[in-house]
Amino acid sequence: MTALSISEPGRDCPLCPRLHEFIAEWRQREPSWFNAPVPTFLPPDGDDAVRLLIVGLAPGLRGANRTGRPFTGDYAGDLLYSTLISHGFARGEFKARPDDGLELVGTAITNAVRCVPPENKPVGAEIATCRTFLVPTIARFPNLRAVLALGSIAHQSTVRALGGRVAAYPFKHGGQLPAGGITLFSSYHCSRYNTNTGVLTEAMFVSVFSQIAAFLQE
């Protein structure tokens, strides 16, 4: 079994019944949508090129669940990909669709939970179950140096995937901690809710990527 086959759930993954049923419902309602576990977005140079892995929470219903690419089709992607491009972690133009030609540079993007959850809220058992894919996802990149977790749930699941105790790695925006042989960075999630309420500003988000870029140049 290859690293790819164990790090990506199958299209009809049944491990989380609630999520499986939710996707089945949306396949009937919107048959043209992707409506499946969203795979990790990779750079064209493949696994060996990845030095930074970004871990989000879960696909958005009308975002990645519709388009099949992480953070594509909703506001969170607008902020994420513009920031990636400005820091050299992506190239091209982001047009919020998977055929826009945008390419990642030394970076991969995945989610702690690969299937869209109702109301964008996965439950604890679903997060734990999907960690069986997050662990080998992290392991598939031999030159990985940094992981950026977006939001506290992604942060906690990543800590556990790296073999750490959550209490020893508290979530903090702008956090930078060594964990499991890599360095774990943390940011508030770039959701529209967080930016609209002022929890996260564009400057705050950009500063995290500046921090990561400086780290990767060391």
- Which residues form the domain of 101? 17-217
pLDDT of residue 5: 59
* Residue 93, domain CATH: 3.40.470.10
Assess whether pLDDT exceeds 90 at residue 184: yes
pLDDT at 84: 98
Q: Decide if 10 is inside a domain.
A: no
On the question of pLDDT at 57 being above 90, the answer is: yes
pTM to 2 decimal places: 0.96
* 182-187 and 107-111 strand pairing: unpaired
| 141: in domain | yes
In a domain, 2, yes or no: no
In a domain, 145, yes or no: yes
The SS3 call for residue 58 is coil
Q: Residues near 95 by Cβ (< 8 Å), separated by ≥ 6? A: 102
* Dist CA 210 CA 83 (whole Å): 10
Q: Residue 157 falls within a domain, yes or no?
A: yes
Q: Please compute the mean of the pLDDT values over residues 177-183 and round it to a whole number.
A: 93
Q: CA 11 from chain center: how many Å?
A: 18
Token pair of 129 as six digits? 């179950």
Closest CA to 155 of 188, 132, 120: 188
Residue 1 lies in a domain: no
For the chain, the distance separating the N- and C-terminal CA atoms, rounded to the nearest angstrom, is: 35
16 near 126, Cβ under 8 Å? yes
In a domain, 68, yes or no: yes
In angstroms, the CA 78 to CA 23 distance is: 24
Give 6-56 pLDDT, tens digit per residue: 999 999 999 999 999 999 999 999 999 999 999 999 999 999 999 999 999
Q: Is residue 8 part of a domain?
A: no
Q: Count the domains in the chain.
A: 1
Q: Please determine, for residue 200, whether its predicted confidence score (pLDDT) is greater than 70.
A: yes
